[in-house]
């Protein structure tokens, strides 16, 4: 019995007499992907009609519904008179008229036109971006 105990003794962290040194353990997991051979995209070009493409042809997935609803979705809140009784849209459009009154000369750097321009367009582009994300996310079942 003592001889059997001596052969099954684990000596240190790296060696053990419980397993044979010639037997290789093959571990697999659902998290490990099978090795994939990297392909040259220039050689795979024949798959897309002979043209080399990195993206889908309709990568933007442009939809006029998003542009229409996004514009309406920005014009409605930006037309609420919240800035000293004026709306952001009204202030922006009136500043355009004021600057066009002296047309050949451009707006000065201290003109409020620049503030209204940046604020109005920033809000518009944020609304369009979130509208694109929300509309396409809904139609493609992301959420």
What pLDDT, on a 0 to 100 scale, did the predictor assign at position 135?
A: 87
What pLDDT, on a 0 to 100 scale, did the predictor assign at position 109?
A: 93
pTM: 0.57
Question: What are the CA-CA distances from residue 116 to residues 73, 97, 112 (Å)?
Answer: 18, 13, 6
How far is it, in rounded angstroms, from Cα 118 to Cα 95? 12
What pLDDT, on a 0 to 100 scale, did the predictor assign at position 120?
A: 96
What pLDDT, on a 0 to 100 scale, did the predictor assign at position 128?
A: 93
DSSP characters over 4-59: HHHHT---TTT--SSS-TTPPP----SSSPPP-----TTTGGGGGTT---SS-TTS
What pLDDT, on a 0 to 100 scale, did the predictor assign at position 12?
A: 57
Mean pLDDT by 10 residues, the chain (143 residues): 51 54 60 61 56 68 84 95 95 95 92 96 95 86 77
What pLDDT, on a 0 to 100 scale, did the predictor assign at position 99?
A: 94
Q: What's the number of CA atoms in the CB half-sphere (13 Å) around residue 16?
A: 6
**Helices 112-139 and 64-78, axial angle in degrees (round to 10):** 140
């Amino acid at each position: 019995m003592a001889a059997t105990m001596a052969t099954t003794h684990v000596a240190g962290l790296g060696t053990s007499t419980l397993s044979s040194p010639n037997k290789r353990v093959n571990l697999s997991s659902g998290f490990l992907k099978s090795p994939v051979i990297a392909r040259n995209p220039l050689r795979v070009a024949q798959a897309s009609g002979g043209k080399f493409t990195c993206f889908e042809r309709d990568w933007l997935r442009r939809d006029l519904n998003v542009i229409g609803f996004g514009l309406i979705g920005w014009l409605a809140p930006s037309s609420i008179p919240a800035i000293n009784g004026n709306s952001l849209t009204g202030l922006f459009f009136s500043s355009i008229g004021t600057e066009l009154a002296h047309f050949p000369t451009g707006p000065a750097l201290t003109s409020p036109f620049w503030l209204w321009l940046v604020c109005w367009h920033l809000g518009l582009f944020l609304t369009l971006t979130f509208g694109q994300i929300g509309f396409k996310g809904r139609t493609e079942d992301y959420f």
